[in-house]
Structure 1
Amino acid sequence: MAAAVLLSVSAQAAEHATITLYHHISETTPASTSVPPAKFREQMEHLKADGFTVMALPELLNALQQRQQIPDKTVAITFDDGYISIYDTAFPMLQEYGFPFTVFINTQPHNDRMNGYMSWEHIREMSDAGVTFANHMENHPHMVDALEGEDDAARIARLEEELLRSQERIAAETGQDHKFMAYPYGEYDIPVKEMMERLGFIGIGQQSGAVGFDSDFLALPRFPFGGSFTDLNDFKQKVQTLSFNLQEVDPETQMTTETSPEVTLQFGPGNFNYRQLGCFAGGQPLQMEWLDQENGRVRLSTEQQFNMRRFRYLCTAPATGMPGRFYWYSKDWTRSLPGNQD
């Protein structure tokens, strides 16, 4: 019986991974998106010492889509925007550890040789060394926001042109043509996801959570690190999380005009107990109305008011037979209103 339980737990773990997200590895850049080099080294040392498999993102995404088992505690490392500290600090450190990684670049700052960003010479050097480069659009737009006078069709046509221009420039400079894109600011809506699907792209967000066989490949989660999220214990907890199988998310879109929206979720079966599910927002428990607890269907609501542009609801549950490990899902919201931009 014990062997059967261990086999079940091992099989569950072989379906999951996490993707980390960084921007700056520096002590002199904006704190909210920066991890000091010493903290970053601590995190990489933990991955090495604790037996994690650090997998290149293209390899990981292919394995998950093909439903191929992967090693337990698998991580892919990613960076957004292409800042110079990735080249100066992260690149040599990750080479030292032998860890593959991916950089999502918005191409215009590199075209313009903007201060604080890598040059195309840096990018080509890293690409030649095996670093993956992929799309983060051209001008880092709020993809959910229409320009004045635009309807949805015109907005999507504009975004498609920008996406493809960026894709062509990355391919021309690096020879890489990966069909996945990290949404700027982690923002997307249903028309954007439909565009991505039509063009054959995988979409990657900034909502926290693990990835698995049944994840939404038009909006894969990543764990962002920076600012208050640089503590090693926080890192240890997140990189070993497991992915819920969400069978219903209503509303599917992250767009809302409300400050305290409701959402209905149905969690598919997994190696956890529905009665141990906890959901939170702003550090406070959400109201959980079970619509069908036996089948994992719950409505979440709150009396809190969230006036910022982006906020999220978080749900976790302890994994049975895997002490200290949790299933993790977050539902992101975006309030795209006049004057409510970054």
Structure 2
Amino acid sequence: MNSKKPSKISPLRNAIKLAACAVSLSTALASPAIAQHAVITIYHHVSDSTPRSTSLTAQELRTQLEYLRDNDFAVWPLDRVIEALKNQEPMPDKVAALTFDDAYESIYTTGWPMLKEFGYPMTLFVSTQPVDDEQSGYLTWPQIRKMADEGVIIANHMVYHPHMVDAQPGESDAGRLQRLREELLTAESRIEEQTGQSHKILAYPYGEYDLEILDMIESLGFTALAQNSGAVGYHSDFRALPRYPLAASFADIESASTKLNSLAFEVRHIDPVSPVTDSRRPAVTMQLAGDFNVSQLGCYANGQPMELEWLDREAVHFRIQPAEGQEFAMRRFNYICTAPKRGTNRYYWFSKFWTRSTPDNAD
């Protein structure tokens, strides 16, 4: 992905802007209500010399942090967000948690000092093998321990950063799950050994998982985070919480601010639950709930609107599938559904994540 701002507004962004103009802001000045939503961000590199697809510059990160500060966000540690949502505790109107994956060097040299300047907590997800191997471009254990000692949450990103849905040659599905279980617990033990922390929070490498992995995560008492966009709420699946990637073309504050202010739909039904598919345009049925006008609900694939096939409009139960010609070729992709909350300029946001088992190009 390149770093230049698109010359045209995408259909999804344009639809959001048009809907916002149509929504009354009369209640926006009311006293803040107790909320049941939060957003979790994901970053990798904080640099202008690393791959743009997983990077944002120091200035882009600073602009986002200034936005959080200037717009009355409560920036909480990730574990506090998770516990508050799981226990359905009252929360401030706008809550964010900031996470960084892969333990890259620029997180320590550029990202973390900036967050300390703003007084914001963060979570670092560590794949332990590159750190153990002292691989170039990654943090060292002494650096990670220093971060841990100063309050950074150090959490699990597996040992080898695997594609968790992929079996190794000749490996059975049971063998794959046993290998993943051992790797997960090995990484957790290594992090605890080096930092004294064991939060039992996993960030899926590449954001990939399947139903068997969800069951494994639950059985081991872990909470897990994915990489598809969306807000989190009381009714989220704590085996695969969404996070907003806010790098590359999503780093600009216009895009980031919409996402930082987003709300979580209550997903009352989704079929299939599994993200694994062989199709380049899979269909999904879902039922959503929230304080929104059904006529303003929109779903998008590759930024293009999808037709909602209503199964029960009153219950907001519908089926979506990209049209022919809107097929996906990549390994991972999302369908995004949004709707403005009544009386505000904030959006409910949900993405259905897919990972293809037979992609045209793996990454």
From 293, 297, 317, the equivalent of 1:277 is 297
1:290 matched residue in structure 2 = 310
Runs of 4+ in 1 over 6 A off after TM superposition: 5-9
2:249 matched residue in structure 1 = 228
Task: Say whether the 8 Å CA contact 2:331–2:360 is kept in structure 1.
Answer: no
Task: Say whether the 8 Å CA contact 2:269–2:286 is kept in structure 1.
Answer: yes
From 329, 334, 337, the equivalent of 1:315 is 337
Distance 2:65 2:29 in 1: 29
From 299, 303, 307, the equivalent of 2:319 is 299
Task: Say whether the 8 Å CA contact 2:74–2:94 is kept in structure 1.
Answer: yes
Q: 1:250 to 1:7 in 2, by over 3 A?
A: farther
Task: Say whether the 8 Å CA contact 1:152–1:191 is kept in structure 2.
Answer: no
The C-alpha deviation readout for 1:186-239, integer Å capped at 9, x for no partner, is 000000001000000111000100000000101100000111111111111100
Shift of 1:336: 1.8
Corresponding residue SS for 2:112 = helix
Distance 1:309 1:257 in 2: 10
Distance 1:299 1:89 in 2: 44
2:76 matched residue in structure 1 = 55
1:241 matched residue in structure 2 = 262
- Could you tell me which amino acid in structure 1 is paired with residue 328 of structure 2? F
1:165 matched residue in structure 2 = 186
Corresponding residue SS for 1:133 = strand
**Structure 2 counterparts to residues 22-41 of structure 1, below 5 A:** 22-41=43-62
- Could you tell me which amino acid in structure 2 is paired with residue 312 of structure 1? N
From 328, 331, 341, the equivalent of 2:352 is 331
Shift of 1:339: 6.7
Task: Say whether the 8 Å CA contact 2:42–2:99 is kept in structure 1.
Answer: yes
From 66, 72, 92, the equivalent of 1:45 is 66
Correspondence 1:89 to 2:110: yes
**Structure 2 counterparts to residues 6-21 of structure 1, below 5 A:** 10-11=32-33, 14-21=35-42
Distance 1:59 1:272 in 2: 28
Q: 1:250 to 1:278 in 2, by over 3 A?
A: same
Q: 1:225 to 1:338 in 2, by over 3 A?
A: closer
1:119 matched residue in structure 2 = 140
Correspondence 1:72 to 2:93: yes
Q: With structure 1 as the length reference, what TM-score do the two structures score? A: 0.95
The C-alpha deviation readout for 1:239-283, integer Å capped at 9, x for no partner, is 010000001110000000001110000113x11122211000111
- Could you tell me which amino acid in structure 2 is paired with residue 282 of structure 1? N
Identity fraction in percent: 50
Task: Say whether the 8 Å CA contact 1:9–1:271 is kept in structure 2.
Answer: no
2:11 matched residue in structure 1 = none
Task: Say whether the 8 Å CA contact 2:336–2:349 is kept in structure 1.
Answer: yes
Shift of 1:152: 1.4
Shift of 1:29: 0.5
The C-alpha deviation readout for 1:49-75, integer Å capped at 9, x for no partner, is 111100000011000000001111100
- Could you tell me which amino acid in structure 2 is paired with residue 173 of structure 1? Q
Distance 1:6 1:75 in 2: 20
- Could you tell me which amino acid in structure 2 is paired with residue 174 of structure 1? T
Aligned residue pair count: 335
Corresponding residue SS for 1:233 = helix
Unaligned runs of 5+ in 1: none
Corresponding residue SS for 2:343 = coil
Distance 1:310 1:145 in 2: 13
Distance 1:152 1:8 in 2: 53
The C-alpha deviation readout for 1:76-98, integer Å capped at 9, x for no partner, is 00000000001000111111100
1:189 matched residue in structure 2 = 210
Distance 1:107 1:339 in 2: 30
Shift of 1:301: 1.1
Corresponding residue SS for 1:294 = coil
Corresponding residue SS for 2:319 = strand
* RMSD across aligned positions (CA): 1.5
Distance 1:206 1:65 in 2: 20
Corresponding residue SS for 2:168 = coil
Task: Say whether the 8 Å CA contact 1:9–1:321 is kept in structure 2.
Answer: no
The C-alpha deviation readout for 1:140-159, integer Å capped at 9, x for no partner, is 00000011111211100000
Distance 2:308 2:273 in 1: 18
Shift of 1:341: 2.3
- Could you tell me which amino acid in structure 2 is paired with residue 47 of structure 1? L
Q: With structure 2 as the length reference, what TM-score do the two structures score? A: 0.90
